[in-house]
Amino acid sequence: MTGRILLFLALAAGLLGDMPARAQQDLVADLSDHLVAITTGFTGADVLLFGAVEGEGEIVVTVTGPRTDVTVRRQERVAGVWANVEAVTFANTPSFYAVASTEPLENVASADIRQRQEIGIENLFLRPEDPEIDPGTAAIFRAGLIRNKQAVGLYAGEVLPITVLSNRLFRTRIHLPANVVTGTYTVAVYFLRDGSAVHAQTTPLVVSKTGIGADIFLFAHGNSAAYGVLAIIIAIAAGWLAAWIGRKVG
Q: What is the DSSP string of 102-166?
A: SS-HHHHB-HHHHHHTT-SGGGS--EES-TTS-HHHHHHHHHHHHHHHHHTTSB-SSPEE-EEET
pLDDT digits (tens, 9 = 90+) for 140-169: 999 999 999 999 999 998 999 999 988 789
Residues 107 and 155 both lie in one domain: yes
Lowest mean per-residue pLDDT among 5-19, 23-37, 185-199 = 5-19
Identify the band that residue 177 occupies on the pLDDT scale cut at 50, 70 and 90: very high
Q: Does position 237 have pLDDT exceeding 60, yes or no? A: no
Residues 84 and 107 both lie in one domain: yes
Residues 170 and 238 both lie in one domain: no
Coil, helix or strand for 41? coil
* One-letter identity of residue 1: M
Residues 136 and 78 both lie in one domain: yes
In this structure, what are the phi and psi dihedrals at residue 181, rounded to the nearest 5 degrees? Answer: -85, 155
Q: Does position 225 have pLDDT exceeding 70, yes or no? A: no
Question: What Å distances lie between residue 240 and 33, 42, 187, 236, 243, CA to CA?
Answer: 46, 32, 51, 6, 5
Q: Longest Cα pair distance anywhere in the chain, in angstroms? A: 86
CATH classification of the domain holding 89: 2.60.40.1930
Question: What Å distances lie between residue 169 and 53, 56, 87, 125, CA to CA?
Answer: 7, 12, 46, 31
Range of the domain at 95: 2-209
- pTM flag (> 0.85): no
pLDDT of residue 18: 44
Q: Does position 227 have pLDDT exceeding 50, yes or no? A: no
Under 8 Å between Cβ of 32 and 188: no
pLDDT digits (tens, 9 = 90+) for 72-97: 988 666 656 656 668 899 999 999 99
Q: What is the 3-state secondary structure (H, E, C) of 182-200?
A: CEEEEEEEEEEECEEEEEE
Residues 128 and 219 both lie in one domain: no
Sheet holding 81-94, edge to edge: 67-78, 81-94, 127-128
Residues 80 and 176 both lie in one domain: yes
